[in-house]
Chain A
């Protein structure tokens, strides 16, 4: 039988008043990792000039890259839904029995040319625009574009107003109406926030490829190429340089990161 001392009297609490040196170093390291090199110059006592410059190659959201997808519509099979299934499994979104409002990060769309009768099938997801309208309209800054071109929702600041859903020309975003549990640790999602394709950012940051691209290759179609649009040597850039392609709604000048071939 023993009572604990009040929290502020324990030796542990006293130790906490002096933050350990290790954490201080860690914080400094974090700043260095995220903001690259810092040069400081003391002009006068109490006045310091600090310059942030350069960029560290290790930072995952690298402004020197722009991630994109190239979807070859001719290779996409009308009866195949593997990319959608893979996305759902990877990120944990699923039907709740309300088809008109359930989340859809990616969907298969079939188009028919009424003149020629040609039918095409293709996946449509967030197009990761260079000038995303969803970011323009967001009142809280929750909708944002990373330095490497991936457009995301910061659910910590999303208030669920859904302006971004109205602004998106591709209906790529969904609102979560139902309470959620059993989320994937890398893809938190919850009631009252907006969500969309993240280009599997948790995979891309560690050098992987999006789940839909992997599933399409596993199904033997290889209709989706993922890569860096700014790197002229990447497979996607070479393909784009050699063959005709188009972004959806080119009239809007959004410069989408997702492009379609043989549309």
Chain B
């Protein structure tokens, strides 16, 4: 009863002050396609166990007819931005991030897996994760001061071979 009263009170306050958000819970992007037979609540709780189980079946035993794969998620759960473009995991509107940011659980699936459906151009890598191209001139000058020109030259050789 107390809880009901609290919810009603909060609802009234919310109606005045928080027009933009419908809830304190995360706004999960709407999916397309058929709903999960097991129900959303089951998936919310168990998706990682199911995907871990099935990824091992695929990788170790070559089973390609599995029930839960990251690849299949994005058939239905591809979130879009305001212009209708599919967003990558770099964007906070991404389906996985909508909950994982809220729960403060970092996922590292997307350091190897793509975070969009096949065929989407994921664009350039986010600036924070891109390795900046080093300036050979600056490195040479730094090494000159440190070990002398002769040693600096030999240390620079492999770097220059890459250019």
Contact = CB atoms under 8 A, between A and B. Distances in A.
B67 interface: yes
Interface of B: 7, 10-11, 14-15, 19, 22-25, 37-42, 44-46, 53-55, 57, 59-64, 66-67, 71, 88, 111-114, 118, 121-123, 125, 129-131, 158, 161-162
Interface of A: 1-5, 7, 10, 12-13, 15-16, 19-20, 22-23, 26-27, 30, 33-34, 59-61, 97-101, 144, 146-148, 152, 154-156, 177-186, 188-193, 201-202, 204-206
A30 B61 CA distance: 11
A210 to B, nearest CB: 14
Contact of B64 (A16, A192, A202): A202
A207 B152 CA distance: 55
Q: 10 smallest A-B Cβ distances: which pairs? A: A60-B62, A190-B112, A12-B41, A61-B62, A16-B41, A188-B112, A190-B111, A1-B15, A185-B71, A181-B122
A30 B66 CA distance: 8
14 contacts: A1-B14, A1-B22, A3-B7, A12-B41, A13-B41, A16-B45, A19-B42, A30-B57, A59-B62, A61-B62, A99-B161, A100-B161, A154-B60, A190-B113
Contacts of A186: 71
A178 B162 CA distance: 14
Contacts of B114: 181-185, 188
A155 B108 CA distance: 12
A253 B71 CA distance: 39
A191 B111 contact: yes
Contacts of B111: 179-180, 190-192
Contact of A201 (B7, B24, B46, B62): B62
Contacts of B41: 10, 12-13, 15-16
A155 B63 CA distance: 17
Contacts of A12: 39-41
Given A2-B22, A59-B63, A180 B112 contact: yes
Nearest to A152: B59
Nearest to B11: A3
A98 B162 contact: yes
Contact of B39 (A15, A148, A180, A204): A15
A26 B67 contact: yes
B62 A148 contact: yes
Q: Taking each of B42, B62, B67, B71, which has the highest tally of chain A beta carbons within 10 Å of its own beta carbon?
A: B62
